[in-house]
Structure 1
């Protein structure tokens, strides 16, 4: 009888511990992690950027270069070179997340840069010498969401003209979406291209 009672007592203790750990680790802990990940941050949901209608147009962490349809005005801010592609100005595939793998002495890379500089200078109505370095080069990941303040400023006249707004308004929008140096001293300030373009009226296609 004592043996049976001891066995039943151990079963009850074991089942109680199993139930308690199931509730703590199977429900409580996941719920806590879920809640903490959403306090003061949208990164758990991909740092989504939404348009005026509430539709997701992309992520603030991933570069998006607007595709301009033939015959349509080029009225948005352009990003850096995205992805690893042979076409010097192709937007690339963000899912590829790769650099060109061309070294600083590469003739192929030099040709891309010269072609990009000429295309951008023509688009913005400036001389090739006025095109900043980040406009013609990609980041290590190929997905940089930011551009330099110099490249953003270069595009202000075209954006203002095509949107029929003042350059001061465009500059104010760019300033509102410019991040400072990391930790206050690392790197350079960057302008988030997608957020500026949403401010200019960019919307998500086919969003219900």
Structure 2
């Protein structure tokens, strides 16, 4: 072997080690540290606690089943709310399986809420891209108010006020749509 090859190999190896330490250890540690100091709650999954007990995450959808009528129900999940499998169904808008599940969800919601299928918002019957969306539209929340009030023995105005409290507007005033955090709304119901 020639000396230039060995010298270049040693230099290359040193660069790999230095870059691995810098980009594989130091940089991720620095980003983690800044996140812990500056954005502690957000960097740790925005865990929601009630009564000293962790009950969920404000940014990950929970499974409030349709068979539990006393709770507000979230969006359907293509992954059954499995955080490790977070993904869409990848079914296109004309896929017969997707259309069948949407029609089934529409009938189920129409029966439970006592409304016509045409009154059901899209987010009530379609899963989000992540399958873990913690929000529903104000329209879907409003559709559920009468049922939740009846099941919990609360006035409709009380439940409507809770929905308004947990409805957030567009980000920066113009991005996205208004939304209701289902977990926070249901926890407020539990405190009533």
TM-score category by the smaller chain? 0.7 to 0.9
Where does residue 80 of structure 1 map in the other structure? 75
DSSP-derived class of the 2:85 partner = coil
Displacement of 1:151 in angstroms is 0.2
CA contact (8 A) 2:63 2:81 kept: no
Instruction: Give TM-score, length-normalised by structure 1.
Output: 0.71
DSSP-derived class of the 1:183 partner = coil
CA contact (8 A) 2:65 2:73 kept: no
Alpha-carbon distance in 2 for matches of 1:179, 1:171 = 14
Alpha-carbon distance in 2 for matches of 1:45, 1:187 = 24
Change (3 A) 1:33 1:133: closer
Displacement of 1:180 in angstroms is 0.9
Where does residue 10 of structure 2 map in the other structure? none
**Structure 1, unpaired ranges of 5+:** 1-25, 85-90, 203-208
Where does residue 61 of structure 1 map in the other structure? 59
Displacement of 1:95 in angstroms is 2.8
Change (3 A) 1:173 1:40: farther
Where does residue 16 of structure 1 map in the other structure? none
Where does residue 13 of structure 1 map in the other structure? none
Alpha-carbon distance in 2 for matches of 1:37, 1:168 = 40
CA contact (8 A) 1:38 1:44 kept: no
Displacement of 1:37 in angstroms is 3.0
* 1:45-103 deviation line (CA, Å, top 9, x unaligned): 2101112x12111100001122477xxx620110001133xxxxxx4423311111100
Alpha-carbon distance in 2 for matches of 1:39, 1:50 = 20
Where does residue 160 of structure 2 map in the other structure? 171
Q: C-alpha root-mean-square deviation of aligned residues, in Å?
A: 2.4
Following superposition of structure 1 onto structure 2, how do residues 1-208 of structure 1 map, counting pairs within 5 Å?
Answer: 34=33, 37-39=36-38, 42-51=41-50, 53-67=51-65, 74-84=69-79, 91-201=80-190
- Matched length: 165
Instruction: Give TM-score, length-normalised by structure 2.
Output: 0.77
CA contact (8 A) 1:82 1:94 kept: no
| Structure in which a larger fraction of residues adopt helix | 2
